[in-house]
Amino acid sequence: NALNDVSTDPQGLPARITLMAKADALSVRMNSIDTRVRAEIDTVERTISGTVDDINDLTSRIAELNEKIASMETYGDANDLRDQRDLLILDLSEQIDIFVIEDEAGLSNIMTTSGMSLLIGISQTELSVATNPDNDGTFDIMAGQVNITANINGGRLKGLIDTRDDNLLKSLDKLERLAASLTTEFNTLHSSGFGLDGSTGLDFFNALAPVARAGGQNSGETLAVASIYDQTLLTLDEYEVKFTDPNTYNIMNLTTGTMVSSGNAYVSGANIDFEGMRFVISDSPGPPATGDTFTVDTTEGASKNFGVSLSEASKFAASSDINTIPGDNTNVLAMISLTDTALGELNNSTFSSFYQSIVSDVGSSSGFAMTNLNAQVVVYGELNNFRESISGVSMDEEGINLIKFQQAYEAAAKVITTVDSMFDTILRMR
């Protein structure tokens, strides 16, 4: 409605002031959703770290009981200690997928289902978390120097990782892409038009700020900086610059999996331009080495930094020709038509349909998690009854999955409630 009002009265200030106010309201809504999703990610990250601490504590206590059991059974039985150990193993199985082998000395040796040892006799492998710059700076799970994140197949820890990666981060990525698309498409039109005072070349929304990162496995500390030199060429995809040797690099589109260019000659300090972006690598403190990688992401932070850049309502570029101001409304009409345009960077969707896909995906995840949660409650009860009816400890993975589905449902529900009203604000700008 605000854009339509400007198109009806392109030379009037009241409609322009209203448009600016509604654009500010949209910015506040976008920033708020971004903040809430990031807060959920932070909560999951803290819980992941706490779960790793719990796993280490349980493994340590089991190791202590192993030692006591081995010593006591030299002279008699240690049934009470074995019962204590069994309960700790059951607790551990709820945190991470494990299987247990008892050796001839009565020691419980514990491994994950992927074969990574957590406890051999009284020798414990301590887990830790480490920030992964290639996964939005979130935590990876480390066993010593080995990254075992992809090899965790069950338990509370797996549920938390899946909730973060498959629910929250994907929702945030889509929100950022929507914000980035709104920014580039609107700014491209606005900067080509003219305000009441003849101003031109101005962005309406804050310009995107691409993020360049050195790969976590790079051999040196070479830094890189990215910028935009032509927003009309942007795809909003993520790219990787990889050095096949110190003087040659390839550029890969990570979003589509296609090679942009290969065998490029590297010149120290020279611009590396591709698809609207400019990438510069600093050779300080040293040049890139074979195998070094750098990623460039145009959309990262787009929803967090989304905001109105234009300072004065009179500078809103409703006209497409300086010779026809103040009565020309052709540029604002082009902006209005954006809401019905299928855009390549949104998978050939309109703003509205792409937004609906975000809501739909989150809703589907929420429904799937709830359905599976209800089913697993029944399975868990049956397996728990079976476990209680026999001796020993059953590592019932179906029961462990309860944590995973509960976490996924809760996260999905929170995301869908925070994004539900955002696009209503966008549509009201029409």
* Three-state DSSP string of the chain: CHHHHHHHCCCCHHHHHHHHHHHHHHHHHHHHHHHHHHHHHHHHHHHHHHHHHHHHHHHHHHHHHHHHHHHHCCCCCCHHHHHHHHHHHHHHHHHCCEEEEECCCCCEEEEECCCCEEEECCEECCEEEEEEHHHCCEEEEEECCEECHHHCCCHHHHHHHHHHHHHHHHHHHHHHHHHHHHHHHHHHHHHHCECCCCCECCCCECCCCCEEEECCCCCCCCEEEEEECCHHHCCCCEEEEEEEECCEEEEEECCCCEEEEEEEECCCCCCEEECCEEEEEECCCCCCCCCCEEEEECCCCCCCCCCECCCCHHHCCCECCHHHCCCCCHHHHHHHHHHHCCEHHHCCECHHHHHHHHHHHHHHHHHHHHHHHHHHHHHHHHHHHHHHHCCCCCCCHHHHHHHHHHHHHHHHHHHHHHHCCHHHHHHCCC
Who wins on pLDDT, 244 or 79? 244
Mean pLDDT rounded to a whole number for the chain: 87
pTM above 0.85, yes or no: no
Calculate mean pLDDT across residues 340-359. 90
Determine the pLDDT at residue 415: 56
- For the stretch 164-203, pLDDT in tens is 998 899 999 999 999 999 999 999 999 999 999 999 999 9
Q: What is the band of 365 on the pLDDT scale with cuts at 50, 70, 90?
A: low
Which pLDDT score, from 0 to 100, does residue 56 have? Answer: 98
pLDDT reported for residue 214: 87
pLDDT tens-digit map of 401-422: 555 566 666 666 555 555 555 5
pLDDT, average across residues 268-293: 89
Residue 261 has what pLDDT?
A: 96
Mean pLDDT across the stretch 332-340? 94
Name the percent of the chain lying above pLDDT 90.
70
Specify the range with the lowest mean pLDDT, choosing from 213-227, 290-304, 385-399.
385-399
Q: For residue 395, what pLDDT is reported?
A: 45
